[in-house]
Each structure stands twice: as C-alpha cells, then as structure tokens.
Chain A
C-alpha cells in the first residue's frame, strides 16, 4: 500500500486527512490479536458476529437473521475497496429484529469488508459495531430504508492502533428514520465518510464524539442531502483533542431544489485540551430551496474558565472539575443512543478515555 494509491491532501475533501497514517496502518505487521472479541459484546439478545481481519469468523459468530453475500460498494476512494463478500441484514415489511452486534478485530495489515442493511417498509433494526485490534480496517456500508423504516446504529472505534475508515451510503424512504452515533475513543486514526439521502419527511440524525490523543488524527466528512420536502436532520458532533492530535469535523447539509420545508441543523464543537492539539471544523450548507430552515453553530475553545472556577470554589479539585466538564461536553453527542445498555457501554469507554487523557 503506497500513499500514492490513497487520496491526496491536495483534494479539497481530504485536506485534513492523513493518508500516511493509512499507509502506515496497512503496513503494520501481523500479530496474534491479544483481544478477545467476546469481551466487546454487550448484554443484548440477537446476532453476535465476529469479523476477523475482514472475514466473518463463523465459529465465533451467531448470525441470527444476518446473511452473508456479495455486497457492492459505492464509488469512493476508500469505500470502493470494500466491494465483495460482506454481511447483509434484510428485513421484510413490519419486521423488527433483535439487535445485531458486530465486533471487527484487526490484527495488522489491511482488511476490507462491506455490509448492507435493507429494511422494507415499517421495519425496525438496531446495529452496534465495535472496532478493536490494530491495522487498517476499511469498511463500506449501504443502508436502504423503506417507508417509515427505522434504524438505530451505534459505532465505537476503539482500535489500539492503526486506522479505521468507514464509508456509508444511506437512502431513506418516506418518513424513514436513521439515527447513527459514533464514538472514537481508541488510539487509531479515523476517517468517517458518509452520504445520507433523505426522502420525503425522513429523519436523519448523524453525529458522535471523536476523542483524540497522542499523534492521532480523527475526522468525519458527512453529508446529509434532503432530496425531498419536509425532511429533518440533525448533525451533532463533538471533538476533543489532547496532546498533538487533530480532530476534524466536516459536516454538510444539502437541500435539493424542490425539497421545501427541510430542517437541517448542525452543531459542531471542538474542545482543545493541550496547546499542541488542533481542531478543524467545516459546517457546510448547500441550499437550493427557498423555504427551508437551516442553521449551524460551531465553536472551538478550551473549557470555560468561569465554570472551572465555580466548581473549584465549591470544593471540587481542579482535575475533577475538568473531567466533569469534559464529560458533559462529550455526553451531548452520546445521549442520542436509544438503548440504555449501549449508551452506558459507550459512556464507559468515553470515561476511560477521559481518565487516561486528563
């Protein structure tokens, strides 16, 4: 894997990226994974799938309603490498499946794998993904939601090293709802790419928290396109950068010509914990319809000195006060995870990261 085969930072959409980190992750030597995927399954019924270096470990997995098959990939610099064998969750009308849990274990080198979620009208599903190990894990996902279908997804990126890149293409039917929450709390580089096309009256929520430390670079590049009227979208992202790390959030709302009454909301906030850290934000709007409500807010800074002072004056030690405020900052992004079990697991991971970083 050479940097030359990867997108260049000279391309506008990749200017904050770190292709060298991907190349380095792909060159990581193979090692036996010291991680046991079983440790990462949460106490939920339903499918438990272990994907080891881009292949489903059938012996360790309970596929439940998930099938394996060929999955196409979207035309995307990284995503297109994932085309081939993959996992598929297909639900018929009105069906509701137990949650699907997938643990991706990488043990070095590069691995590519794709998934597809197809929900027919009024179907509902929940998917929880966890990335562990080291190396370059490259994933593609295509989501198709029928009329009023509902999908809740939670993804935690806690690889100990290397790079995780995700490419997601979602198409939301009329009145469909997609809620996706990410937590980046590992030590690997991250790139989250997504394009969500929202249909008539569809609801899309896409966001998360990227916690970066060391030399890590984490970024997201997400676009929500309102293709039909009355859609609603929220993009809520939080970035925390410590040490010499960089966290970049690029989120875009697009409103097509006739997609009137669309309501697109973006909230991007960055918190810098060290002088040497960097936060980049790009809250982008691209609007072609005149009767829409689109607003975005973006802020970058350090913890509020007055809040810190107040807490100290009430007897809370400075370090503890910092931890509490940082935790509150991150919590905004994780609150949207619907399942209590999943949310608690994600918050625990974020807390562990904060304890180490502060």
Chain B
C-alpha cells in the first residue's frame, strides 16, 4: 500500500454532505405498531375498506413471521414498537405557487440539488423551461408533496400519481396489480410494508404509449424515528415504455432508521421499463453510528411476450443495505437486466444482488455487478439465476467484480445458479482485485494526484454500469462515487 497522506485523511473524515434535518411541523401517528396504527394510517389516507382489509391481513401475517437472518449482515435488533409509522408534513399537499411552498421544504430541495428550474416547475412559476424534461414526484417523508408535469403526462394517457391518490382515483387498476408481483407474504419486510406503507408512486402507461419524459421521484427520510415505507407500482401496458428514476438522500441522524420499501413492476407484451436508482442515504458516521437500514424488496414481472425490464442501481449510502431487485421472466422472449454499483465505506454493510427467474422460452438476462469496498465495510453480491424446466434457449451472462480499497474491508460473492433445462447457456464470471499499483503509478505519472487517479480508475471500473444511467443521474452518480471513496486509498 502506498503511504497515507494528510489530504487523504482529511477527505475520508469528510462529513456527510447532505446531512441536515429540516424543521417543519409534522403530524405523527402514535408511536408503535399495532392494528390501530394500521387503521390510523388507512383512515388518514381516506382509504376504501378493501385497502384497509388488505393492510390488516398483511399485518396479521407479519406478526407470525420472523426477521430473516441468512444474509451476511450484522443487523442489531430492531424495536418495531419504538418508531413512528406515519408522519405527514402539515404543509398542504397541493401547492399552487412557490410562495405557498413551505420555505423549509424549499430549502431542503435546494440542498437536495433539485435544480432551480425544477423548483420553479414544482411551483408552477410562469416561463420556467426545464433544461431536460423530467417529471418529479417528491416524497417528503411519507406523503407525496407535489407532482409536476401531470397535465402533459395525462395528455399522453400516462397516470403518474402518489399511490394514495391512485387508490382513491384508480381503485380498480391498483387493486388489480397491488401485491401481484410481491405478494403480501413474500418476506418479513415486504409484509411489514404491505401493512403500513404510507405513500409511494403509482405509474400506469397505457397500451402503445411511450412515456414522453423520464419520471423521477426523490425520496427523503426526514422526521426522527419515522420509518419510511414507500410502495411503488409501475404497470407498462402492451408496447409501452417508461423510464423511472429514483434518487434518495436523507438527513443525518444518530438513531438508525428503518426503510422498508416495496417496488413492483409489471411489463405486459412488448413493454419496457427502465428503473434507475441512485441511493445515498446517510451511511452512519465513521464508527457506524446512525445510518439508514435499507431493507427493500424490488421485483419486476415480465409477464408479456418480449417485454423488458432493466434495473440500474448505484448504491453508495445506508448503513445496511439488503436489496435484491429481481426479474421474473415469465413471458416468452422477455429480457431482464441488472446493472449495479455498490460502494461501501467505513462501517457500511451491503448485501445486494439480483434474482433472474427464467420461466418463459427464449428469455435472456444480463447481470453486471460492481462492488467497491473501502474502510471497514462489507460488500456482498448475492444473486440467483434460475432456469425452469420449460424455459427453452435461455441465455444468461453474469459478471460480478469486486474492488477492494483497504485491507480492513470485505468483498463477498454468493451467486446461486439453478438450471433445470439443458438448452440453457449460463455463464458466470467474477473477479476480485485491488487497484493495481501499476495503474495508479501510470495515472499519477501523467500528472494526476492520487485522489484523482483513484477516482479515474474507480469510475472506469464502474463504467459499464454508469453508462446505463440516464444522463443527469450519471453525473450525480459519478460525483457520489468520488465523494464516497475520497481518501480511502492511500
């Protein structure tokens, strides 16, 4: 290892840039989790009877379940009774102008990096032209605060709503698909989410429609001790296309916060969904105190023929990540993709990967996973490729590479391959390495300092994944990689 320098130490001890807490009035559900909490949330949302029954069924199921312990994670016991399950900002949900917007929320957006133009758009300021057309549905704590571009989307027939609005306005659509991809009893955290989800996003793209813009949601956890349980449901009807971006930041807190989201994607015949995530929640301090627990269930059902779902994720935040965006490739000729960069530093733990379940004929999947560990962190790729007996001519290519930046961290690869059809062609490759001295020396001999050289090499290592991201996300992601790793080699 090269010698450590002061600059590197300064960079590594850098505080979480997005660590701030916005002080605004919030409406809390009583602390703790019981049937009453579930009823409270449902009543607050003005939900129909069937939704309440659905939640209660999930809650009763959850009470009989045990938290999973098979992952390579060290999760301190979570006291589910010591948290708030619902927090609603008292600010009004429908905002007509920028002045109506709570200044605290505006300031939060600014720190979040939502461009001024975008902020103006959020507030309907006249003459505001978006630099690039992105519709933002901002989830501020548990309630969707504002939705832009609704009109233009509606003209195209695209439904882009917070899930609670969708339950009220499109009950039949929601009822048809909710819980179809991730059933209530799927796993401990998904069941919990089914019982207490507070808000989230619903997207429906009708037959033959190419969504005219990229859809984007900023998730943010704000109030102390409020677990956030979003529910996202995206349905792409026959021949439809939608690209959805999800970006997350959260303020600095000393107590661990639980985040158990569920994302369900459905692609019918010839439909395509592209789902991109940049996640930089608070990872805890250098000793692992605080930080978000990110226990997310994400699954896509490629139900139609020739449908396609592509997951791209850049995971740099959270103290503990437990996340396996998956594709059930049921339709003949359907395609699943998973591109992931997971960066862990300090005491972070990440156990992430994907499942590709091949059920239809001629289905294909690609998995590219890049794990980068630094500090004293642990980074695990855990994946499953399963080929069912009736899935003819399946192709899968998996590549999972790990990069170790310190001698105190861990990189683990746990791929499962289960093949029950001989016509399948499954390939899996994995490598583990560190940044080679040669590369570093060469880059530095060309005039780069060590920091820049490391950033260059890491970005090159992750390039295959980053290039899958929509442009504005790719920029943010590159910046994040740099920030997350600055000074960790040296």
Contacts from A to B (Cβ < 8 Å): 12, 257-258, 260, 270, 272-302
Could you say which residues of chain B place their CB within 8 Å of the CB of A270? 417, 419
Mark B residues whose CB is within 8 Å of A. 1, 70, 387, 389, 402, 404-434
Cβ-defined contact, A299 with B428, below 8 A: yes
Q: Who on chain B is nearest to A297 by CB?
A: B429
**Which residues of chain A come closer than 8 Å to B422, judged between CB atoms?**
272-275, 277, 301-302
Q: Which residues of A contact B426 (CB under 8 A)?
A: 298-301
Taking the nearest CB of chain B, how far is it from the CB of A239, in angstroms? 10
Q: How far is the CB of B38 from chain A (nearest CB, A)?
A: 29
CB–CB B420/A285 < 8 A: no
Q: List 21 A-B contacts (CB under 8 A).
A: A272-B419, A272-B421, A276-B420, A278-B419, A278-B420, A284-B412, A285-B432, A286-B410, A287-B402, A287-B411, A289-B404, A290-B407, A291-B407, A291-B434, A294-B430, A294-B431, A295-B432, A296-B429, A298-B417, A298-B426, A300-B425
Indicate which residue in B1, B406, B411, B421 contacts A285 across the interface (CB closer than 8 Å): B411
B427 touches A299 (CB 8 A): yes
Extra 4 A-B pairs, beta carbons < 8 Å, given A285-B411, A294-B431, A300-B424:
A292-B432, A298-B426, A299-B427, A301-B419
Q: List residues of chain B with CB within 8 A of the CB of A275.
A: 389, 421-422
Main secondary structure of the interface of A (DSSP, over half): strand
Per the bound structure, the CA–CA distance linking A276 and B422 in Å amounts to: 8
Q: Are A283 and B419 in contact (CB under 8 A)?
A: no
- Please name the 7 residue pairs, one residue from A and one from B, whose CB atoms are nearest each other, closest first: A272-B422, A290-B404, A298-B428, A302-B422, A281-B417, A285-B413, A300-B419
A274 to B423 alpha-carbon distance, docked (Å): 9
Is the Cβ of A290 less than 8 Å from the Cβ of B428? no
Q: Is the CB of A280 within 8 A of B419?
A: yes
Please measure, in the bound complex, the distance between the C-alpha atom of A299 and the C-alpha atom of B420, giving whole angstroms.
Answer: 13
With A282-B417, A285-B413, A287-B410 known as contacts, the answer to whether A296 contacts B428 (CB < 8 A) is yes
A284 with B415: CB separation less than 8 A: yes
Chain B nearest CB: distance from A225 CB in Å? 13
Partner of B413, one of A278, A279, A284: A284
User: From A298, which residue of chain B is reached at the shortest CB distance?
Assistant: B428
The residue in B414, B425, B427 that gathers the most chain A C-beta atoms within 10 A of its C-beta is: B414
Closest to A286 in B: B412
In the complex, the answer to whether A12 meets B409 with C-beta atoms within 8 Å is: no
Give A296 to B414 CA distance when docked, in angstroms: 11
CA distance A286 to B422 in the complex (A): 30
Partner of B425 from the list A276, A290, A292, A301 (CB cut-off 8 Å) is A301
Neighbouring B residues of A290 by C-beta, 8 Å: 1, 404-407, 409, 434
Q: Given contacts A275-B389, A278-B420, A290-B409, are A284 and B414 in contact (CB under 8 A)?
A: yes
Q: Are A295 and B407 in contact, CB atoms less than 8 angstroms apart?
A: no
A159 to chain B, nearest CB (A): 25
In the complex, A296 Cα to B401 Cα: how many Å?
10
Most chain A CB inside 10 Å of its own CB: which residue of B405, B418, B427, B433? B418
Cα A294 to Cα B417 with chains together (Å): 19
CB contacts (< 8 Å) of B428 on chain A: these are: 281, 283, 296-299
Contacts of A293 in B (CB 8 A): 432-433
Closest to A276 in B: B389
Is the beta-carbon distance between B418 and A280 smaller than 8 angstroms? yes
User: Provided the pairs A277-B422, A300-B419, A301-B425 are in contact, do residues A285 and B430 lie with their beta carbons within 8 angstroms?
Assistant: yes
A281 to chain B, nearest CB (A): 4
Residues of B within 8 A of A302 (CB): 422-423
Which residues of chain A are within 8 angstroms of B433 by Cβ–Cβ distance? Answer: 292-293
Q: Which residue of A lies closest to B382 (CB)?
A: A284
How distant is A320 from chain B, measured CB to nearest CB, in Å? 19
Please indicate which of the listed interface residues A257, A273, A280, A288 has the most CB atoms of chain B within 10 Å of its own CB.
A288
Could you say which residues of chain A place their CB within 8 Å of the CB of B389? 275-276
Which of A282, A288, A292, A296 is the one whose CB lies under 8 Å from B416? A282
Within the assembled complex, what's the spacing in Å between the Cα atoms of A282 and B423?
20
Which chain B residue lies CB-closest to A291? B434
What residues of B have a CB within 8 angstroms of the CB of A288 in the complex? 409-410
B406: chain A residues at CB < 8 Å are 290
Beta-carbon contact of A257 and B407 below 8 Å: yes
Whether A282 contacts B412 in the complex (CB less than 8 A), given A299-B426, A300-B426, comes out as no
List chain A residues, Cβ under 8 A from B416.
280-282
**In the bound complex, do residue A295 and residue B421 qualify as a contact, i.e. CB atoms below 8 Å apart?**
no
Please indicate the chain B residues that have their CB under 8 angstroms from the CB of A272 in the complex: 419, 421-422, 424
B428 nearest in chain A by CB position: A298
Task: Chain B residues near A276: list those with CB within 8 A.
Answer: 389, 420
Give the CA-CA distance A12 to B404 in the complex, in Å. Answer: 26
Are B430 and A296 in touch, CB under 8 angstroms?
A: yes
| A295 adjacent to B410 (CB under 8 Å) | no
The chain B residue with its CB closest to the CB of A255 is B432
Complexed CA–CA distance, A257 and B409 (Å):
8
Q: In angstroms, how far is the closest chain B Cβ from the Cβ of A280?
A: 5
- Determine the distance from Cα of A299 to Cα of B425 in the docked complex, in whole angstroms: 7
**Across the two chains, which residue of chain A brings its CB closest to B384?**
A282
For B417, give the chain A residue with the smallest CB separation: A281
Bound Cα distance from A282 to B402, whole angstroms: 17
Residue of A nearest to B379 (CB): A287
A24 CB to closest chain B CB, in angstroms?
23
* A342–B419 alpha-carbon span in the complex (Å): 32
Among residues of B, the one whose C-beta sits closest to the C-beta of A292 is B432
Interchain CA distance A280-B419 in the complex, whole Å: 6
Residue among B413, B423, B424 making CB contact with A296, cutoff 8 Å? B413
Query: Chain A's nearest CB lies how many Å from the CB of B414?
Result: 5
Is B432 a contact partner of A294 (Cβ separation < 8 A)?
A: yes
Q: How far apart are the CA atoms of A285 and B70 in the complex, in Å?
A: 16
For the complex formed, measure the closest distance between the CB of A203 and the CB atoms of chain B, giving whole angstroms: 19
**B-side contacts of A286, CB under 8 Å:** 410, 412-413
Contacts of B415 in A (CB 8 A): 281-284, 298
Which residue of A260, A270, A280, A300 has the most chain B CB atoms within 10 A of its CB atom? Answer: A300
